[in-house]
Every structure is written in structure tokens, then in C-alpha cells.
Structure 1
Amino acid sequence: MGYLKSCGEYAQAYHESDISDDELMVEELAYMDDNLYDRVGDMIALFYKAHPEPIPFLVDSE
């Protein structure tokens, strides 16, 4: 999550012109080459490995 936060902060700094076009390092932005999706997928896999039991499906009795 720290990585995602740092990408978002970098993107915000660029949006607010704290980082110029010449200084911009595109790889520091979120959503570059699907790295965000890879990291989220990895975290889901690690969570599942630690907690393999199914999430109970709750049905409203009404």
C-alpha cells in the first residue's frame, strides 16, 4: 500500500506543477505497465494463502 500511496503522491505533485515535464519520471506514476494490477494481484494471492477459508456468503432472510 505504501507503494500505491507514493505513486499517488508523485502524480499529485506533478498535477500541481511541483514536478516539471522535464523532471517527470513516468515510471513513478501509478498504473504504469499494469504494475498496480500486478501488485494488487500479488497481495490477493498472499492474503488467500494466509486465509484459504471461503468468505461466507450472507443472505438477507427477508
Structure 2
Amino acid sequence: MTKHMTRKQLNSRVVDEIDRNLRQAFDDMAQQPVPDRFTDLLAQLKAAEDKKNSGGQQDA
């Protein structure tokens, strides 16, 4: 058996390394807090939905 990797083995290792790096990047990003502007927007949308569901519909 030789110490040289086949092209398929090399490609597999490259793909595995890319997968690991992408997972790490997305995991890091997922740990970041949600920006205030998004939580504010979600609160506004929830308030509008609650108002609509309680019968207080207004024309847009």
C-alpha cells in the first residue's frame, strides 16, 4: 500500500474539512443573540396579530 492518497480520497478529505468549517461557522452564528431590531419587529407583529385575533381589526 502506498502513502499517496487517491484523488477520490483527497476530494473526500477536502469535502469533510469544508463541512467541518461550515458547521463551525453556522454553529458560531447560531449562538449570537438576536439583534434588538428583530425582537422589536417580532413584538410588533405579535401585537398586531393579537389585536386582529381579539376583534380589534383596523383597515390597513
TM range (shorter): 0.3 to 0.5
Question: Larger % of helix: which?
Answer: 2
Higher relative contact order (CA 8 A, sep 6+): 1
Q: Calculate the TM-score normalised by the size of structure 1.
A: 0.34
